[in-house]
Structure 1
């Protein structure tokens, strides 16, 4: 079931177009760096806190890149992937079949606004959105509150969010001076073709989670030392730099060191949040 308002329709159409010719191998060296950092922070702050045989919910999971990685690294885990795009869900399901974990992971085509109602009565140890999902909805706070209902008593909520300050930096670097104010207001990312509705700051993230009775256990950001070039062209400077494997590993090491520095998060191109129930959860 979809919410057929403008936001959902635009988002669905955008990601359905991405399905055509989609190949993760073409994502580039910068994207590989972001994935490596995201996996590293998950290992440091999330997986070590989850029970054996944990359950997970991948919201806006796309073609299943993270579901695949979790399901294959943790063969006792069980989960579900939900995404607005039927094409992306189909790709994720096909990948599960190819790699033999389709019995442990369910796949559902759904709007994030409907997920809490569709899965009412179910809970998960790990609820996450790793593709800037909350940046595409008009009211991220309401979505977080709804998803909190699906979180187990000791569960962890993890979000990967677009950084408002980085969007303004990128807009200004591209000469989009008239749109920088909109980026700073959190309403537009002019140089990014994705249909963002909301951009975030660390302070806003803490306040939004507090309103959902969640405490932020970790708030960091990455990458902090290297940003993608505008429009992320295949021959862009950051891509050329990171294609040298020795340089890639050196940058990855430095970026990992910054992950644990609480003052570096605001500089990251993406913001990463781990949260848990602020008070005992009663159902």
Structure 2
């Protein structure tokens, strides 16, 4: 991401963070989270990563539903992370840090599953994000991508709501991103309204 793009996105979400959980959209997001976790199959004591974690609501629900997991939430916005840290009721198991999805600050194969919920639409280089997730995801691990979907005829839609616009991808485009890093697409599932979950699995044996 360019420095200007990053600064603009950070400014946008830093301004939004204090009131983020007071808006009507949060009710929608939490309903999406609940449906999403119905498709989450996690091993015992799994280590989880949530990209674009915002104020940490998904990981809060995940920690409650899966009492043996540990998880890290990553967000570009310092203010979002501060909100998540201040509301963290599972400090022994949940960690929240500021970071860039295109340069993840983690070692290879660190996570058993990665979640990305209604934040992928902000990323200007989707294939690079998949490559970074592939690096930190354990062989056999899962990636859960939940976001607004586009028609198969639509390559990319940019909507000037936030700095840099928003990008929506179809089922086939999502599957292609996964295929390019050697993953299998487990399936596509409608969660709520226009939100589509695409579940991927990384190959259990990496090719070298």
TM over 0.5: yes
1:179 equivalent in structure 2? none
Matched, 1:163 2:149: yes
Structure 2 unaligned spans of 5+: none
After superposition, the CA RMSD in angstroms is 2.5
For structure 1, the residue ranges without an aligned partner over 5 or more in a row are 166-182, 225-268
Q: Match for residue 199 of structure 1?
A: 168
The structure 1 residue matched to 2:35, chosen from 23, 33, 40, is: 40
Structure 1 or 2: larger helix share?
A: 1
Q: Secondary structure at the match of 2:20?
A: coil
Tell me, yes or no, if structure 1 residue 59 matches structure 2 residue 48: no
What SS does structure 2 have at the residue aligned with 1:146?
helix
Q: CA shift at 1:185, angstroms?
A: 4.3
Decide whether the 8 Å contact of 1:223 with 1:270 is kept in 2: yes
Q: Which residues of 2 match residues 1-283 of structure 1 at below 5 A?
A: 4-24=2-22, 26-27=23-24, 32-33=27-28, 35-43=30-38, 45-47=39-41, 50-96=42-88, 99=89, 101-115=90-104, 118-131=105-118, 133-165=119-151, 184-189=154-159, 192-193=161-162, 195-224=164-193, 269-278=194-203, 280-281=205-206
Q: Which residue of 2 aligns with 1:265?
A: none
Sort the Cα spacing of 1:109 and 1:37 in 2 relative to 1 into closer, same or farther, 3 A: closer
TM-score (norm. length: structure 1): 0.66
Q: Is the 8 A contact 2:49 2:73 kept in 1?
A: yes
* Partners of 1:34 and 1:222 within 8 A in 2: no
Cα–Cα, structure 1 residues 22 and 161, in superposed 2: closer, same or farther, change >3 Å? closer
How many Å separate the matches in 1 of 2:109 and 2:182?
19
Post-superposition offset of 1:282: 5.9
Q: Structure 1 residues 70, 186: closer, same or farther in 2, change over 3 A?
A: same
Check conservation: 1:219, 1:273, Cα contact below 8 A.
yes
**Distance across 1 between alignment mates of 2:123 and 2:32:** 25
- What is the Cα deviation at residue 121 of structure 1? 3.5
Does the CA contact (< 8 Å) of 2:154 and 2:169 recur in 1?
no
Larger radius of gyration: 1
The 3-state SS of whatever aligns with 1:160 is: strand
Deviations 1:209-244 (A, max 9, x none): 1001111102123434xxxxxxxxxxxxxxxxxxxx
1:149 alignment partner, SS class: helix
Distance 1:9 1:276, change over 3 A: same
Q: What SS does the aligned partner of 2:19 have?
A: coil
Report the 3-state secondary structure (helix = DSSP H, G, I; strand = E; otherwise coil) of the residue aligned with 1:213: coil
Q: Which has the higher strand share?
A: 2
